[in-house]
Each structure stands twice: as structure tokens, then as C-alpha cells.
Amino acid sequence: MLNAQELKAKINDLDIIKLAGRMGSDDYIDTDEALIFKTICHHGEKHKLYYYKESKFFHCFTDCGDGFDIIELVCRNKNYSFIEAINWICIQLNFSTLTEGFGKQNEMINDWSFINNIKRKKKGDINKQKDFYDNSILNIFQKMYWKDWINEGISIESMYKYGILYSTLQQKIIMPHYNINNQLMGVRARLMIEEEIELYGKYSPFQIRKVIYSHPLSQNLYGININKETIKRKRKIMLVESEKSVLQCDTMFGEENFTVALCGNSFSNFQRDLILSLEVNEVIIALDKQYQNAESEEANKWAKHIRERIINKLAPYCVVTILWDTENLLPFKASPSDINKETLLRLMDKKIYTGCI
């Protein structure tokens, strides 16, 4: 297990130059004893920030007037916490370490290596879990709710209902995924740190130590454990792309919510059979708007994708309708639930039987 000292020991002079450049000091002076940078510790322009190669410590000869290591420099430059600074250094240098103490600040986990392994399509030494996970893993997270989601039409009550949590140390929204029998299949994380999002996208399986709490998204429908009784009672189901859309619909309709998420825009035979097991009469497709104009070639390609991937699998068994924005009610890439309840209801009123698109 690496600690902060071991992390700093891995950083060489070239790494320091790279990190300083990312913080605003692209030019530097190289002497036998020190590297001299702009005073990026307080966003200054003078070359009076010395990095002493032997001690691996900085000293600012202007306003700061004191010494500190690379982690503290990142904290000062980017206004980061100690944990955030280590995360940022790991991302910039492609180190496969990330602090994840959950109460023990000296512990480290291998959080970046699993992403690197996925990108290289190689199998690592991650311990593969059984089909279902122990719910007790969720006890390490906090009942904290992101203000931006509240502003986007998701109530705290809905987030609580679906078990949304927050990891303060990894700075990620935690979204537990349960199957129809309320068994924990996996844990997805919504990333919050911009550098991580740029590298890996907004969503990823959550990892703690050597366990990735992942599951095949094609083997489940998010929200089905909570909404199955409403779906069976109404004999209809609405398919959306993201967990966020399910939460928005729960805020709008509460116990009348019959929405589940594909967590993407693909649709498996397993998901089809899961839907049919609920004896629905109608499936409403409400995916994100992947076209600017409903009459465009872009829209035709998106309609073809939906027909081939989803409609053709369902049409022999039930009525399939689709929310298709012909009035430009939604911006590009928005979910039908993103604007407000009135917009969603209007799209529902104008839904199209799929033989028409």
C-alpha cells in the first residue's frame, strides 16, 4: 500500500516540470541544485519558486515565504484538499494510485489501474465478485445530495428513495443498482472531478480497494425494483437512457412512475424478456434526443438505430410507442424528462406508434 511519502518518491524532476506546466508555469530555469518556476503557489508571475532536487521541496521567496512539497503546491494552486491534490497528481502522471481511506487517511487503493486495464482491454488482478453484492458496502457512503441534480428536477426525497449516496473521499455520486428482486447487482458512480470526466466520461463502476462493484448493464433495468408494481398495474413501461431520468420522473410522478433506465441506448434480449415478464401492453421509448431537427438525416439515422436495436425486439409482443420531438421542445442530447413535467407530458400526448417513424 502506497502512502503519501511513497507517492512523492515516485515523482522525478521531469514529473515536477510537467505538473508545474499544468499549473501555469510552462517556462522554468534549471540549475544544478534547483528548478525555478513562477510563483504558482499564489498565482504569481515572478520566477521565485524554487524546487530543490535533493530534498524534493519547494520554497517560495516572495509572499509565501515558506517551504512545502508537491502535494501542498497543488493544494495551494488549485484550491484542492489533500485528497483532491493526490487525485490530480495521479491523473496527470498516469499513476495508478488514489487515496481512499474511508476513515483511514493512510490507506491507498489502486483506482486508476482498473480504468487503464479496461482501456487496454486486458484482465487485471481485480477480485471478481459473485452475482450479487452485500448491501453493507453502502454504509461507507454519506447521505449527501448534489445541488446540480436538485436544480435539474430531482428531489432529495427521490434520491433517498433510490438509495443515492455520495463518496466524499472519491467525490462521486453513488448509484446502487438493484435487480427486480431487490438484490444489489452493482454500484455505478457519477464522476465529479473534471479531469476524471475528461479522461473516463461521467459514469463508471465504483471501486474500493481491489473490488469493482460492476455488473452487466444489459442484464438489468435500473429502477425496476421500485417501479415494478406500478408497471404491472398500469401494464406499461417507459424506457429512458439514464438513472437521472428515472429519478426526475419519480420526482414528477411519485408512486405513478413506470420508468426504467437502460443505462445507454442498447437493448438486450434479457431486458426484453424482463419487460415481458411484467405482462405489459405498451412499451414507451423515451431516449435522449440525438438529432437537431426531426426531419434531418441525423434524425433518420437515430430512428433506424432505435428500430433495429429496440423496436424490432419488442414489436411482436406488445405495442411500442416513441417520444419523438417534432416541435423542438428539447435541446440536442436532452432527455424527455430534462426540461419539466409539462414538456414531458406534451411529448407523451404526441407519442408516435412506431410504425409511423
DSSP state of 326: S
d(CA 207, CA 216) in angstroms, rounded, equals: 15
d(CA 247, CA 226) in angstroms, rounded, equals: 11
Strand order in the sheet with 319-322: 259-261, 236-240, 282-285, 319-322, 352-353
Give pLDDT, residue 352: 93
Given the candidates 3.40.109.10, 3.90.580.10, 3.10.20.600, 3.10.620.30, the CATH classification of the domain at 4-95 is 3.90.580.10
Q: In this model, does residue 213 exceed pLDDT 50?
A: yes
- For the chain, what are the domain ranges? 4-95, 135-215, 224-356
Give pLDDT, residue 64: 67
Q: How many Cβ atoms sit within 10 Å of the Cβ of residue 290?
A: 17
Q: In this model, does residue 103 exceed pLDDT 60?
A: no
Q: In this model, does residue 259 exceed pLDDT 70?
A: yes
Give pLDDT, residue 66: 67
Higher pLDDT: 67 or 100? It is: 67
- Residues 302-327: pLDDT tens digits? 999 999 999 999 998 999 999 999 99
Higher pLDDT: 119 or 290? It is: 290
d(CA 210, CA 110) in angstroms, rounded, equals: 7
> What percent of the chain has a predicted confidence (pLDDT) above 90?
59
**For residues 325 and 344, is the Cβ–Cβ distance under 8 A?**
no
Asked if the 224-356 domain carries CATH number 3.40.1360.10, the reply is yes
d(CA 238, CA 46) in angstroms, rounded, equals: 60
Q: Residue 195's pLDDT band (boundaries 50, 70, 90)?
A: confident
- Would the CATH topology of 4-95 be identical to that of 224-356? no
**For residues 294 and 325, is the Cβ–Cβ distance under 8 A?**
yes
Q: What are phi and psi of 318, to 5 degrees?
A: -160, 170
CA 42 vs. chain centroid, Å, equals 32
Helix (H, G, I), strand (E, B) or coil at 50: strand
- Residues 121-143: pLDDT tens digits? 333 333 333 468 989 999 999 99
Maximum CA extent, the chain: 77
Give pLDDT, residue 117: 37
Q: Give the range with max mean pLDDT: 58-67, 126-135, 163-172, 332-341.
A: 332-341
d(CA 12, CA 18) in angstroms, rounded, equals: 10
- Residues 321-336: pLDDT tens digits? 999 999 999 999 999 9
